[in-house]
Amino acid sequence: MKDIGAIHRAEYDADSDESEKIFIAEAPGRVHYLGEHGEPKAGLFLSSAIDRTMKVAVSLRKDNSLRFFAADLGERKRTTLVNLKYKREDRWANYLKTAIHGFAELGYSVKGLNFTLMGDVPQQIGLASSSAIEVAAAAALRGFFRAKINDQEMYRLLTKSSAAFFGKNSNPTDYLIHLHAKRDHFLLVDELRHEVKTIKSPLAGYKILILDSKVPRMGVDDELKQRRQDLRKGLDQLSYGNSRISFRDFVCSDLVDSLGDLPEQIRRRCMHVVKEIQRVYEMEHALRNAELALLPKIITHSHESLRDLYEVSCPEIDWLVKRAQEIDGVLGSRMTGDGFGGCTYTIISDKVIDEYKKRLDDYERIFGFRPILYEVRPASAARLL
């Protein structure tokens, strides 16, 4: 990757004092292996950061303008603190502005600042590139202001700022991952308790492949909204309206006994969540104890549940997963992300990667989409460079 510091200096040379320091930070992308279609605001995830990052550079300006430069796109945006608000046309710059908003709300003196953004986290395929921008910008500003803010305080700053800036609740899980990830470790992320536990990866000799199916995704937001509504109705029925109860308090037999008066669709959605919580714990156990033989069953059942109970897969994704699962040396393959297209991940032995790639030629021939393959590994948390 190009030197963001040199790019930043060249972009803002006329507007900056060369003696001013440039503060540079990076935050990783992330992938969910299990759990992303769970109980809203109370999810349990098996995830990791990935070794692709978004980098943000920040320095002081001579005036009170806020300037933003996306080096990879060659695009520029600008505003001022007085006019700091969400604008749809500002796209990527809104995530930088979220971090500025958070520090301004804490009372830090935000005046003229220059920002440069670049990175190699693939965009809009469910690898958290947007929240990585927010966290990288916040980490750079923490260095710029020499702010005595720990990671837990940074998490609260970003969660509060994102909700205020975008006018909707953010997903705090990504912030937890960006801030607490550890190289070569998986993460058990508890959205309800705001906790992260690390699990040393036992996958020596294996790779993690992310495959972008390139299937066009339309109407996804409405579909996912409907499923979340189904979950709320089901949980309300199970808990008799007790807000302190979550899906973690139930087993599958409870759904059979308690959801008889609700439509079958709602029962299926809830069944997926209850079973997925158990699978997260099973996979945590398998990874901690290096019981790799357990992974194929856990991951396969998770994908089948997303396909049949939560109904967020599609024929192209199912084909990719099935073909991968047929290869001896694959520990698991499953959709990841919002669904209805998007990505799969595959945990695969080094020795059979070429065989896996051969099957992608058949995918393009059958479905007409040219997939894009990314090799990733569990990576470290956000940091000031």
Please tell me the distance from the alpha carbon of residue 306 to that of residue 309, in angstroms, as a whole number.
6
Please tell me the distance from the alpha carbon of residue 24 to that of residue 71, in angstroms, as a whole number.
14
Among the listed residues 28, 51, 59, 25, the one whose alpha carbon sits nearest the alpha carbon of residue 138: 25
Which residue, chain included where needed, has tokens 């079958």?
Answer: 264
Task: Say which residues have a Cβ less than 8 Å from residue 38's Cβ, sequence separation at least 6.
Answer: 44, 45, 247, 273, 276, 277
Please tell me the distance from the alpha carbon of residue 134 to that of residue 49, in angstroms, as a whole number.
15
Give residue 342's identity as a one-letter amino acid code.
G
Helices (H), the chain: 4-12, 93-105, 129-144, 151-166, 172-180, 220-239, 252-258, 264-288, 295-308, 315-325, 353-367
Please tell me the distance from the alpha carbon of residue 382 to that of residue 385, in angstroms, as a whole number.
9
Q: Are 52 and 46 in contact (CB under 8 A)?
A: no
Among the listed residues 155, 191, 167, the one whose alpha carbon sits nearest the alpha carbon of residue 88: 167
Give residue 63's identity as a one-letter amino acid code.
D
Which residue, chain included where needed, has tokens 């991952």?
Answer: 177
Quote the DSSP letter at residue 340. Answer: S
- Which candidate in 174, 212, 230, 338 is catalytic? 174
Q: What is the DSSP string of 51-119?
A: EEEEEEEEEE-SSSEEEEEETTTTEEEEEESTT----GGGTTHHHHHHHHHHHHHTT----SEEEEEEE
Q: What are phi and psi of 136, to 5 degrees?
A: -65, -40
DSSP-based three-state secondary structure for 123 = coil
Q: What are phi and psi of 32, to 5 degrees?
A: -95, 130
Does the annotation mark 354 as catalytic?
Answer: no
Please tell me the distance from the alpha carbon of residue 240 to that of residue 7, in angstroms, as a whole number.
58
Q: What is the CA radius of gyration of the chain?
A: 22
Active site residues: 174
